[in-house]
Chains A and B, each alone.
Chain A
Amino acid sequence: MPARHTLVVDDDFKLRLSQRLAAAALGTLLVVLAVVMFSTSESLVGKLEVVSDAGSTVGNMVRVQRESLVFLIAFEQWTGGIITRRDLQIRRAILAKRLSVRDDEGVINGDRVQTEYFQILGVLDDLVKAGPPGLLPHDDHTVIRLKSADAVQGLVFEARKLVDGVTQVSDRQTRQLIRNENTRRTNLYIVILVLLTLSGLVIVFTEVTRRRAYRAFSTQARNRRQELDETSATLQKVDKDLQSRLEKERIARTEQEWITSGFNSISLRFRSSATSELIAETMVEGLGRVLQADSVISYSFAELPWPRILKQWHQRPVSQVDESLFTEFESGLFSYVDGLWNDRRIVIVADSHLIKIWPDQIPEIVETVRQLVRSWLIVPIGEGTHALGFLFIAMVESAREWSAAEIELSKKVSATAASTWNQLRMVGQSMQIASMEIAERTAEVGRLVELGKVKSDFIVNMNHELRTPLTSIMGYMEVIVGDVDAGVEPELASSLAAVQRNALRLQILIENMMKIAVSDFKDVPFVVTTVDVGHLLADVVNSMNLATGDSKVELTLRLDSPAGDLLIDGARNQLEQVFVNLVHNAVKFLPADGGAVTVVARRTHAEGDYVEVKVIDTGIGIPVEDFPNVFKRYFRGSTAIASVPGFGIGLSLVHLIVLEHHGTITFDSTVGKGTVFTVTLPIRYTATDSPIGIR
């Protein structure tokens, strides 16, 4: 079986086809042989039987012999006068018959008989023939006996020889047969033996090959297993290596993550710390918690104008460190820390108990520290070339192997703190300046506001004062005018009308002034109702007409929409103010020879529901360069010369009120031709529309 370097398969253990065939053949052969052997034994017996069979040569000879002997006996009996010659001759006939029989081989028995036999037989035959028929007389007995004695003996002898010869032959045959049989048997035995041997060999061979195959297999298996073991050992080793590497990486990453997350959490709070003090506080607490240290102290050196900052955090109730501890050694401390900073060095003490010799130059403070804590880190905090302060991180009783990650974190945090401190210092400077400026400005604004208030209060007070005399004037005028009959005294009536007119102007001025003054301080209430603009305009125009009384001024109102369409939400008194002012202005700015003022009101639907009121005059107009200033307070316009009275408050107030009503006011003007003011007011504005407020 060829050794196969593949995984062993069942086939190796099965007998191959050839083997099977061989085995089958052998088996069959064995069976056949057994049968043959068995049958041979039988056939031998059969053969032997045949040998002695009547048909066989030996059988025949034996019969011949028997017949011969029987003849002889019969002869003796004849000679004895027992039987007749006829009986003898019968016997002789049987013998002769016998002798003429062919045996199984086809040979006549007589031919096998020796010549002597026939000679003797002939003698006897002669004797018989010479004898009388029937019984031999007694006298002849002895003569015949004597004559035949030799022949009889000789025939016996010959007869014996017959069989002998034949027996010999048959013996020979038998012996031959037996010998043959023996030979055959031996052959068979040999064959069987050979076959058995062969089978044995085959079996052995098969077994051997199977064993071999099995051994090969088991060797293979063993090898395979060995390989597998080796491989698995290798894999395990690789796996272990990998694990340890992963572990290292994980530790490193965790450390990195830890550093990063620790740093992030602390620096995040830095960002929301607005002062150096807060930064220091954040730093000590943040580091204390993240590092799980017993104490963290942050100290910044005094550097004018910033004071020293001492911040500390302690995990256990350790007594607070007093500032005096540091201030006592400040100059020495500063040069020490500055040295650390410039060397970019951190002091790392894992266990102070183990250190015998202290290399650094400030023994007093070292002794003090040694008594208080067991292990520590000192991280200098600096910017550029000089140190700003330091961080002191300590474990009180336990020794601690500060890990690279922890040191890294402390460095990062202190660096960030340093830069933030610096930034704050720079910002602080500019902020100080800025805040001083702001303070000044605020004071100034305060003064201005005060001033404004004072002015406003003054105006309001004046206003109130002014109203009372005005009431008197108007009141008495009312009485007087009522008493004067214009038909009777037209001049007086006209003069009185002039006085009334001016009283009305005064009233308008007072109202305006009041509004402006009050509006600065948001005292104006805003009571909203439904206002009939048409009605309102009619009132305004009417009173204006009364006021002017001047035929040179043509003041008309035109309603282009039905009165019911001109209802809006608003404050009536304020709206009245608007239109009074506008009309008043229009009239005021008419040229000396008069002109026309037309008020037109209509409902529009463009982009919503509005009431639009136009005040159109043929007045002196507003120059283009004045356009931007028209609604500004106290603006009087370049065309408004001394002849045109007014404080310039009117239009700014109008603008204000229109805005409060969520409306718009626009104008267009041509110098020398006239002006058109257009006011649009929304029909409705919802309650949530807060008044725009005073501008």
Chain B
Amino acid sequence: MSDNKRPIVVVADDDRDIYELIKMQLTRHGFEVFIADNGVTALELIAAHQPAVALLDIMMPGLSGLEVARRIRDNSANSNVGIILISARSSGRDNADLDELAIDDYITKPFSLKELVDRINNVITHRQTTESSQP
């Protein structure tokens, strides 16, 4: 990922309104956005574009967001990809799998778009810092 280009985000959500909304907002904030409406497509997009962040809705038909996350992590080529999961659960993370999968962040519906943008930036910044600290 080069600093010149816009950061790439892959968004996976089965609801059209949601992903259109997110795409619009993120594009306005300077991200390049690729959309998938299912897990399989999401994985393909991630493999193709190596995004900075993958924004995954947990509740999707077919592969769930968790499953996608697992596959991303299993593939060592994707070690740079940050993962943010979108959940309908209102309370905090209570799934041990999340810890195992080294999810970067977790956001619950309904969320404010501004908050979403902030979180994505945080994840990217955090990842860059970690990367640069490694030899």
Which residues does A use to contact B, with CB under 8 Å?
Answer: 463-464, 467-476, 478-479, 503, 507, 511, 514-515, 523-525, 527, 573
C-alpha gap A503/B110 in the complex (Å)? 10
Least CB distance, B106 to chain A, in whole angstroms? 13
Contact B90 A573 (CB under 8 A): yes
Least CB distance, B121 to chain A, in whole angstroms? 17
Least CB distance, A506 to chain B, in whole angstroms? 9
Interface residues of B in 78-135 (CB under 8 A from A): 88, 90-92, 94, 109-114
9 shortest interchain CB distances as A-B pairs? A464-B88, A471-B110, A472-B17, A467-B109, A475-B21, A471-B109, A525-B94, A467-B88, A470-B110
Contact A479 B88 (CB under 8 A): no
Contact B25 A479 (CB under 8 A): yes
Which residues does B use to contact A, with CB under 8 Å?
Answer: 15, 17-18, 21-22, 24-25, 59, 88, 90-92, 94, 109-114
Cβ contact of B113, chosen from A464, A473, A475, A573, cutoff 8 A? A475
5 further A-B pairs in the complex, CB-CB below 8 A; given A471-B111, A472-B21, A475-B111: A471-B18, A472-B18, A475-B22, A511-B90, A573-B91
In the complex formed, the residue of A with least CB distance to B108 is: A467
A-B contact list, 14 entries, CB within 8 Å:
A463-B88, A467-B110, A470-B109, A470-B110, A471-B21, A471-B110, A472-B18, A472-B21, A475-B111, A475-B112, A475-B113, A479-B24, A479-B25, A507-B110
In the complex formed, the residue of B with least CB distance to A523 is: B94
Least CB distance, B111 to chain A, in whole angstroms? 7
C-alpha gap A527/B24 in the complex (Å)? 35
Contact B113 A527 (CB under 8 A): no
Contact A524 B91 (CB under 8 A): yes
Cβ contact of B110, chosen from A475, A525, A527, A573, cutoff 8 A? A475
Least CB distance, B93 to chain A, in whole angstroms? 8
Cβ contact of A474, chosen from B91, B92, B110, cutoff 8 A? B110
Chain A residue contacts of B112, Cβ below 8 A: 474-475, 478
- Indicate the member of A469, A472, A515 with the most B CB atoms within 10 Å: A472
Chain A residue contacts of B18, Cβ below 8 A: 468, 471-472, 475
Cβ contact of B21, chosen from A467, A479, A514, cutoff 8 A? A479
Contact B90 A479 (CB under 8 A): no
Given A468-B15, A507-B110, does the pair A475, B88 have CB atoms closer than 8 Å? no
In the complex formed, the residue of A with least CB distance to B21 is: A475
Chain A residue contacts of B22, Cβ below 8 A: 475
Least CB distance, A505 to chain B, in whole angstroms? 12
Chain B residue contacts of A476, Cβ below 8 A: 17, 21
C-alpha gap A476/B113 in the complex (Å)? 9
Least CB distance, B45 to chain A, in whole angstroms? 21
C-alpha gap A471/B16 in the complex (Å)? 12
Contact A468 B109 (CB under 8 A): yes
C-alpha gap A514/B90 in the complex (Å)? 8
Chain B residue contacts of A471, Cβ below 8 A: 18, 21, 109-111
In the complex formed, the residue of A with least CB distance to B25 is: A479
C-alpha gap A589/B69 in the complex (Å)? 46
Chain B residue contacts of A573, Cβ below 8 A: 90-92
Contact B113 A525 (CB under 8 A): no
C-alpha gap A476/B111 in the complex (Å)? 11
Chain A residue contacts of B15, Cβ below 8 A: 468-469, 472
C-alpha gap A199/B113 in the complex (Å)? 159
Chain B residue contacts of A474, Cβ below 8 A: 110, 112
C-alpha gap A535/B15 in the complex (Å)? 35
C-alpha gap A468/B88 in the complex (Å)? 8
Chain B residue contacts of A507, Cβ below 8 A: 110
In the complex formed, the residue of A with least CB distance to B110 is: A471
Chain A residue contacts of B17, Cβ below 8 A: 469, 472, 476
In the complex formed, the residue of A with least CB distance to B15 is: A468
C-alpha gap A515/B91 in the complex (Å)? 9
Least CB distance, A172 to chain B, in whole angstroms? 174
Contact A478 B114 (CB under 8 A): yes
Least CB distance, A285 to chain B, in whole angstroms? 54
Least CB distance, B119 to chain A, in whole angstroms? 14
C-alpha gap A145/B91 in the complex (Å)? 211
Chain B residue contacts of A475, Cβ below 8 A: 18, 21-22, 25, 110-113
- Indicate the member of B22, B24, B88, B114 with the most A CB atoms within 10 Å: B88
Given A471-B18, A479-B25, A514-B90, does the pair A464, B59 have CB atoms closer than 8 Å? yes
- Indicate the member of A464, A467, A474, A573 with the most B CB atoms within 10 Å: A467
Chain A residue contacts of B92, Cβ below 8 A: 525, 527, 573
C-alpha gap A471/B22 in the complex (Å)? 10
Chain B residue contacts of A470, Cβ below 8 A: 109-110
C-alpha gap A476/B17 in the complex (Å)? 9
Least CB distance, B55 to chain A, in whole angstroms? 13
C-alpha gap A463/B108 in the complex (Å)? 13
C-alpha gap A507/B94 in the complex (Å)? 21
Chain B residue contacts of A527, Cβ below 8 A: 92
C-alpha gap A524/B109 in the complex (Å)? 17
Chain B residue contacts of A511, Cβ below 8 A: 90
C-alpha gap A464/B60 in the complex (Å)? 12
C-alpha gap A46/B68 in the complex (Å)? 178
Contact B110 A478 (CB under 8 A): no
C-alpha gap A511/B89 in the complex (Å)? 9
Given A471-B110, A474-B112, A479-B113, does the pair A515, B24 have CB atoms closer than 8 Å? no
C-alpha gap A475/B111 in the complex (Å)? 8
